[in-house]
Amino acid sequence: MKFGIVVLPGSNCDHDALHVTRDLLGAEAEVLWHKDTDLKGVDCVIIPGGFAYGDYLRAGALAKFAPIMEPIRRHAAAGGLVFGICNGFQVLTEVGLLPGALMRNAHLRFASRDIFLRTEETDTPFTSELTEGQILRMPIAHGEGNYFADAATLDGLEGNRQVIFRYCDSEGRITSETNPNGSARNIAGICNPARNVLGMMPHPERCAEALLGNADGFGVFQSIAASLARV
């Protein structure tokens, strides 16, 4: 089991992802620089949060031109796991591995606080160790987390069960008040049709151990590890 943590100019959560995969999971983990063209045999690519290339133009827009992206596309097409967190989710929409776009938060302010998520689907490599409807508390930290797609795309995501996480309250209720950024249908995370690519705005790597006061995010990484062990 081997993880590859992508480092783009402006990434700032790469060390968090490296710590969780290497030190908490006990897996092999490799840093992948944005100019690399070889994924070095990794099983799961993680594109972490931050501000790739300064988020010039729009969040994640310039990252699609990074040399590392073409091997990531091939990895995903071959069934390999790709996990984008926050800025990584934005990058995945820009490179076309996930549909839709992440726009400015509806209230036009940077959002940085803990929120609640409801786990919608568990038949993915990223949620296999969670339970359907499980409520997770995770931090968010973004200015462009407002997930947008046209109605047909949203209906397709719903129909294919590609909405993996939604913003909710502590009881799992989905309301406009629990939506921290205006995302369509309270969407916090989606996967591709093949279910091997996941993007989510909240940060599971920042709440993966009790030392931090919250380990809810560790279940996502445990799911990945368990799914890879079953291959």
- Distance between CA atoms of 198 and 32, rounded to whole angstroms? 19
- 121 included as an active-site residue: no
Residues of the chain with pLDDT under 50: none
* Whether 191 is catalytic: no
**Burial zone of 145 (CB within 10 Å; 0-12 exposed, 13-18 middle, 19+ buried):** buried
Can you give the residue range of the structural domain that contains 114?
2-230
pLDDT of residue 221: 98
Residue in 33, 37, 221, 47 with CA at minimum distance from that of residue 126 = 221
pLDDT of residue 56: 84
pLDDT of residue 58: 87
Q: What is the pLDDT of residue 57?
A: 83
Active-site hit among 86, 168, 191, 207 = 86
Q: Please tell me which residue in 13, 144, 203, 207 is annotated as part of the active site.
A: 203
pLDDT per residue as tens digits for the range 167-219? 999 999 999 999 999 999 999 999 999 999 999 999 999 999 999 999 999 99
CATH number of the domain enclosing 190: 3.40.50.880
Distance (Å, whole) CA 197 – CA 193? 9
Say which of 94, 120, 121, 205 is annotated catalytic: 205
**Residue 209 burial by CB count (10 A; 0-12/13-18/19+): exposed, middle or buried?**
middle
Structurally, the chain folds into a number of domains equal to: 1
Q: Is the pTM of this model over 0.85?
A: yes
Say whether 171 is catalytic. no
